[in-house]
Structure 1
């Protein structure tokens, strides 16, 4: 069982995601394109491609297709019927379906750790590296524009990663904001 708070955390961990409302529902968008929302009845609605919709329907029997003019445009499932891991995967898939190609490609590169020009220390670990790259923080100079609380709010960045980043910034004469 998941909550709106877990949905919010999963959605806001993705680059350039904004929270707002859409027809009175909590909604998340990337560059103005909605990709996830929660109905007043506690159902999460996700904008997905046709293949992802079919996979989601197969994996979650209480869910249903959302169609417009006979074309599948998304998937709806009660939040209470989906676990956190599946919700995170569906939110990411919905984000990728709606994000601009360059932004999606940048996150895909971050996921594989192949971002050219990144000077992040390897010691912070892969989850922290993915989180920072996904948030657009590909260099120590960009990391220095954030506070410790900002960094810890990113899913995958923990106290050890922040300590290593702080030490690396200090070595180069910089600090966190």
Structure 2
């Protein structure tokens, strides 16, 4: 069973996401464009591309198409009926559908690097070809700290994420 806390964590982990309300519902937007909301009765609504909506409808038996003037704009499904991994993917797809193209492309380029390391650290890592946590694990703490833009906080966050995946920095 997925919770509002998991929805909030998935949405707010994406760049430039803001939380607010929309018609009394908890809502998430990127640069003013809503991509996810939660009704008071526990249904999550996601603004998805037509292809992503079709896939979500096929994968989730209780999902319902959301239409605006007869045009499909996303899906609606019970939050409790979707597992956390699927919710994360759906929220990311909805965010990508509504985010400006450059922002979405930049977010895709960061691989699985956590946003919490900050933009300077992300740019520093990407600039040296380190775009995944697996590639981070090939380096030592000293090597990472030597990169301009990577500080102790970024290294701490990276270590925590690596530990969650059963990885660690090179000794």
TM-score, structure 2 normalization: 0.72
* Stretches of 4+ aligned residues off by more than 2 angstroms: 117-122, 124-129
Q: What value does the CA root-mean-square deviation take over the aligned residues?
A: 3.1
Are residue 158 (structure 1) and residue 166 (structure 2) matched? Answer: no
1:17 corresponds to which residue? 17
Are residue 119 (structure 1) and residue 124 (structure 2) matched? Answer: yes
Shift of 1:119: 2.7
1:48 corresponds to which residue? 48
- Structure 2 distance, partners of 1:128, 1:21, is 37
Q: Give the secondary-structure state (helix, strand or coil) at the position aligned to 1:52.
A: helix
Q: Is the 8 A contact 1:43 1:78 kept in 2?
A: yes
Shift of 1:148: 4.2
Question: Mind listing any 5+ residue stretches in structure 2 that lack a counterpart?
Answer: 114-121, 138-146
- Structure 1 distance, partners of 2:19, 2:135, is 24
Q: Is the 8 A contact 1:49 1:97 kept in 2?
A: yes
Question: Mind listing any 5+ residue stretches in structure 1 that lack a counterpart?
Answer: 130-138, 165-177
After superposition, the Cα gap between the structure-2 partners of 1:111 and 1:74, relative to the gap in structure 1 and judged at 3 Å, is: same
- Structure 2 distance, partners of 1:45, 1:78, is 9
Shift of 1:125: 2.6
- Structure 2 distance, partners of 1:127, 1:78, is 37
Shift of 1:15: 0.4
Shift of 1:111: 1.8
